[in-house]
Chain A
Amino acid sequence: MNTAIPVLAAQNLVVEYRQHRAVDNLNLQIPQGCVYALLGGNGAGKSTTISTFLTFNRPSSGQVLIEGESPHTNAELVRAKLAYLPENVALYDVMSGLENLTYFCTLANIRLSSDQAHDLLLDSGLQADAHQKRVAAYSKGMRQKVGLAIASAKQAKAMLLDEPTSGLDPSAANDFAQRIRAAADRGMAVLMATHDLFNAKQVADRIGIMKNGRLLEEFDAHTVQHDELEQKYLAHARGLA
């Protein structure tokens, strides 16, 4: 694998909804093993950015690239290389976690034995006694775990997370952060949208502050001080900086 090509990249990306510019000239590069946190308040354009990688949206100009290729010209890329985890992992309530995992995997052309499916769920932190229960009875954290299991089953190159920890209790959020970190350490590139500074600092390698569709500032998460980051974030949020 050529490590020079970032797994995820946005080049002069502009995405518009009718007249409204949701993403404005965004440039991003996320290499293998890197967790990139897009930090910003509501309406900053984080979800739109993620959606564009997944081809839910089309760029008005500029482009997104997955290992150097545009998913908008090669639709297969999304299926082959991306895993997606929204804030509320969408699953079918009348089916069990195990059935959801198997169904989604089969549709993605991944054949799982029953043992493999159980292992994936266990590895993602879902207790064995929950596997056969209907998802309707799951907590948000449990759904996230099924989502993670699907992502691991895909053996994706990159994972796109949209507010993954919002609404999780602190210990579940912490547990989730560690799993993301572990996935990145195995070589996965991660793009994570969040408005939670603490969460960004905890998991990310790089942090970009986004507002009104623009990337205002980038930080190395390992070197930036929490206080400094917090001040900048708040200043940007208030429109001071």
Chain B
Amino acid sequence: MIKTIIRKEFLATLRDGRLLTLGVALLVLFAGFFLASAYELQQLRAEKHSVGTTAKEQWNTQSVKNPHAAAHYGIYVFKQDTPVAALDPGLRPYIGQALWLEPHKRNLTRFSPAADQVLAGRFGQATTSFVLTALLPLLIVALTFNSISQERESGTLRMLHSLGVDAGQLLFGKLLGLMTAFSVVLAPALLLAAVILLGNFAFTLDDVLRLLALLVLLNLYYGIFAALAISASASFNTSRTTLFCLLGFWLASVFIAPRLGVVGAEILAPNPSASEFWREIKEDIDHGLEHDGDHEERAKAFEAQVLAQYGVSRKEDLPVGFVSLNRQYNDAYSVKVHALHFDALRDNFVRQQHLSHLGSWLGPSLALRSLSMTLAGMDLAHQRHFEDAAEEYRHYFINLTEDWDRERSRGTERKATGAEADWRSVADFSYQAPDIGFALRTAKLDFLVLLLWLGLSIGLLRISARRLVP
């Protein structure tokens, strides 16, 4: 029986002029946004690649100079986005695109904590992802808000009841039939997207998996809206009431929930201000972490230790460059303090992201949006993964220059130099983005929230079926 209902709903929906009109409008809209997004991504990728290469080439061609001076020349690195980011640029608008790697200091790309914003909850502007996560649910609502009330008003519901049709099968049949019709209408747009993506970007298996996972999740998300719309249509007396309620829900889910989540997260887990953040780092370096002694004490202890190690009584008699040695020691300490504070800040971003789900009781959009961002590799977790890799690379090339500085100098003199061959021997930054497993682990909570909503919407559909008045 349910198959018959699905088939009929599918055909009826397709024949209904509304869907076709909406479908065509959607295709045009989606094509426009998507082409723009894909183009933007392509430009960005090309630009990042070219600037990255140029930056390294400039590094390579430095003149003969002190290795530490060369290190101060610095290197720019970039996070290369996956092609999936064409569907969802995620936090890109709010995150700095370049990370500047230099000695002594770890830089932030994206967050100026001063901005005091929870970036985790931010929604992009009118992008492809806006169409996918905000407009399409609206289309679903437009298609389903009167799916039952119309049958009640026209009398077919009574007809069906008199034929002994099971209300549960009717409602679930409608849900599946509508979703099938919807997929068919959406298919050309997705096909177009696939063609554009495959034509312009090199895809890895991981990218494909991420894309497919996103597609599945989007369908669950649309299913939630459809199930809720059908329930509402079955429960409310008039199509008008149903439409108003559903529009309210859509607004709440898409626009209010994220903002509410952001506000809640800001209150419950505030970020330090930028000045506070950097001041604390400086204080910890100057005064030392617990039991470490302040800067001067540490410097004295280190000098004593080095003299003992080399069996000399004066810095001037050391067989290696003390300036570099000392700098390396100080840098290591600074790295330790930076890591502590950076991790604390970023842990707080994660906490905020979790807390932002306080807004999720208003609707599933927050969770979906977050999942989509993560699968596109454009979320905080992926950014952090990249930053950690960049930080490791920073240690690698700074330490290399310090090695040259130390080995090519003696005592307190500063005579070490390096040449192009040295600069060139610094390996390029080659970043391997994490795989889909990383993304799925990151998005566990979002996924759970989405599943809860799915369960809730199916539960409501069952209840409305049981209480359906013909």
Contact = CB atoms under 8 A, between A and B. Distances in A.
Interface stretch (A5-13, A21-29, A101-109, A177-185): A101-109
B32 interface: no
A90 interface: yes
A92 B12 contact: yes
B160 A56 contact: no
A142 to B, nearest CB: 16
B4 A84 contact: no
Contacts of A91: 156, 159
Nearest to B165: A107
Contacts of B15: 94-95
A56 B163 CA distance: 12
A56 B154 CA distance: 15
Contact of A78 (B5, B16, B162, B469): B162
B430 to A, nearest CB: 58
B158 A104 contact: no
Nearest to B152: A90
Contacts of B163: 79, 104, 107-108, 154
B162 A95 contact: no
Nearest to B3: A106
A94 B16 CA distance: 7
Interface in B137-188: 151, 154-165
A107 B156 contact: no
B146 to A, nearest CB: 13
Given A56-B470, A90-B158, A92-B156, A108 B12 contact: no
A77 to B, nearest CB: 9
A154 B162 CA distance: 11
Contacts of A109: 1, 164
Interface in B1-26: 1, 4-5, 8, 11-12, 15-16
Nearest to B162: A84
A161 interface: no
B159 A55 contact: no
A103 B173 CA distance: 13
B164 A54 contact: no
Interface in A73-96: 75-76, 78-80, 82-84, 86, 88-92, 94-95
Nearest to A156: B162
Contacts of A94: 11-12, 15-16
Interface residues of A, number: 26
Nearest to A106: B4
Contacts of A82: 162
Nearest to A134: B15
A88 B164 contact: no
B421 to A, nearest CB: 77
Contacts of B161: 54-56, 78
Given A90-B154, A94-B15, A95-B12, A103 B164 contact: no
Nearest to A151: B162
Contacts of A76: 164
A145 to B, nearest CB: 15
Contacts of A92: 8, 12, 156
A79 B159 CA distance: 10
A104 B11 CA distance: 15
A90 B159 contact: yes
A95 B158 contact: no
Interface string B118-153: 000000000000000000000000000000000100
Contacts of B8: 92, 95, 103
Q: Which among A54, A106, A107 has the greatest number of chain B C-beta atoms within 10 A?
A: A107
A109 B151 CA distance: 20
A78 B470 CA distance: 13
B157 to A, nearest CB: 8
Contacts of B159: 84, 86, 89-91, 104
A202 B406 CA distance: 117
Contact of A79 (B11, B157, B158, B164): B164
A104 B158 CA distance: 12
A95 B15 CA distance: 8
Nearest to B469: A56
Given A79-B163, A95-B11, A56 B16 contact: no
Nearest to A104: B163
A55 B161 CA distance: 9
> Nearest 7 pairs between A and B by C-beta?
A79-B164, A90-B155, A108-B163, A84-B162, A90-B156, A94-B15, A106-B4
Given A79-B164, A84-B159, A109-B164, 8 more contacts: A56-B161, A56-B469, A84-B158, A89-B155, A94-B11, A95-B11, A107-B160, A107-B164
11 contacts: A56-B161, A56-B470, A75-B164, A79-B162, A86-B159, A90-B156, A92-B12, A103-B4, A106-B1, A107-B165, A108-B164
